[in-house]
Amino acid sequence: MRRLIPRAFIGLLSVGAIFAMGFLGCHNPANSSLPPSAISPTGAAIPPLSKGDVYADETVPTPETPIETGDTLEVVIRRGAGEEKFSSVVRETGNVSVGFMEVNVGGITAAVAESRLQDAAVPYMREPRVQVLLKKKVLKVKRVFVFGDVKKPGMVPMQRHMTVLQALAAVDMYQETALMEEVRVIRGGNLAKPNILMADLARAFTYGDMSRNLALEENDIIFVPREHLGDASEAGKMIMPVITAAIAPLYPVFLINAVMGR
């Protein structure tokens, strides 16, 4: 009976070691399981990206564009043969300072602002003529979102001509259990019927084929799935402490660590 107990634990140890070697650390998500001749489907055509950067370009307002907080007003006040030029930013209260004058221009158009500024200047100038040029600059950060089996999921600022691979680099790349052959890019404002594109980054790592390293657009959602082997790997990590605790009273700790590969 005394001989059977160690043999039983040795068998349990062997099963655990095989399980660990078979499922833990044996998968490299950067290797493609497809031959070089197998090309991923091209999917939907990707329109060329517009030239831009993290910030949107300066917008050109129309005569109906309202003045908002943060806008810049270029004001020219003419009287007689002379003129004075001012540049002022609209504050949170909607007021703008032009020289010694304080005028509320929030929510109105540039034409209405010209009239208000001209009325405000009448007590101080003779027959003033006011011209207002509205400049709007939207400091809007372009961004994409990365979720799934990656190390730091979340929002990523979108740089110029960003690709899926660059977005993954921004989140410290993928986990060992990631399925890099089927990275999904969800695109489009219609949440009921989004446009889903497939990026095969394993081909890029294995064969240098960058044809499926898709170019991104603003608000794209990149999802990196986990392969089924990864689920087994996580199960192995959970069962190993149980096996270690069971055989620890009978075998030295250094022997257990050696067999487990720690």
Instruction: Give the whole-angstrom CA distance, residue 140 versus residue 195.
Output: 24
What pTM did the predictor assign? 0.46
For residue 33, the model assigns a pLDDT of 66
* H runs (alpha helix) in the chain: 4-23, 110-121, 164-170, 201-207, 228-247, 253-260
Strand bridging mode 183-187 / 195-199: antiparallel
Residue among 113, 70, 65, 117 nearest 90 (CA): 70
Return phi, psi of residue 224, to 5°.
-105, 110
CA-CA-CA-CA torsion for 67, 69, 72, 74, nearest 10 degrees? 50
Position 133 pLDDT exceeds 80 = yes
Contacts of 228 (CB under 8 A, 6+ apart): none
pLDDT, one tens digit per residue, over 155-192 is: 999 888 899 999 999 999 998 889 898 899 998 766 67
DSSP bridge pairs for 78 = 83, 129
Position 98 pLDDT exceeds 80 = yes
Residue 104 confidence class, pLDDT cut points 50, 70, 90? very high
pLDDT, one tens digit per residue, over 212-257 is: 899 999 889 999 998 865 555 555 565 566 555 555 555 555 444 5
**Which has the higher per-residue pLDDT, 244 or 15?**
244
One-letter amino acid of 87: S
For residue 243, the model assigns a pLDDT of 54
Structural contact between residues 170 and 63, judged by C-beta atoms closer than 8 angstroms: no
For residue 7, the model assigns a pLDDT of 54
Instruction: Give the whole-angstrom CA distance, residue 185 versus residue 27.
Output: 23
